[in-house]
Amino acid sequence: MKHKDQRTHQRFSVNLQAKISAANDEGDIFFADETIIANISSGGAFIITDRSLPLGGTIKMEFLLSFENLKKLRFILSVESLLACRDKQVRVKASGVIVRVEKDGIAVIFDTDYQIHPLPPSSE
């Protein structure tokens, strides 16, 4: 039987460096790694990892996006926030729930508690 794609958000293939971490119920971090986000949408991402993480577990992630990719993803932002990010790279801090575990990574659905910060211009 063919698997039906149930995604509601357009997904983009990317190669984003990311920092991910997971904590236990007491808030102690038991896993932290630098890895790659292979694809992303405004609703979630597929993260490359060989670590065995639990289905339904929560992870935190941090990654950089270009302004162009930020616009494509259509994160919910105020006009002021969008203008502050124009033509800059932005740092995204998000968390989400692991909804699929595969041998080469995990699929995560973002929760609504994400933060987007424009990076200051580099001093070249």
pTM: 0.80
- Report residue 69's pLDDT band, with 50, 70 and 90 as the boundaries: confident
Domain boundaries, the chain: 12-118
- Report residue 116's pLDDT band, with 50, 70 and 90 as the boundaries: confident
pLDDT digits (tens, 9 = 90+) for 73-113: 766 666 677 777 777 888 889 999 999 999 999 999 998 77
Per DSSP, 114 falls in state -
CB atoms closer than 10 angstroms to residue 9: 14
Opening angle at CA 14, ends 8 and 15, nearest 5: 145
| 12-118 is a CATH 2.30.110.10 domain | yes
- Find tokens 């002021």 and name the residue: 80
- Report residue 6's pLDDT band, with 50, 70 and 90 as the boundaries: low
Please, which residues have CB within 8 angstroms of residue 123's CB and are 6 or more apart in sequence?
Answer: none
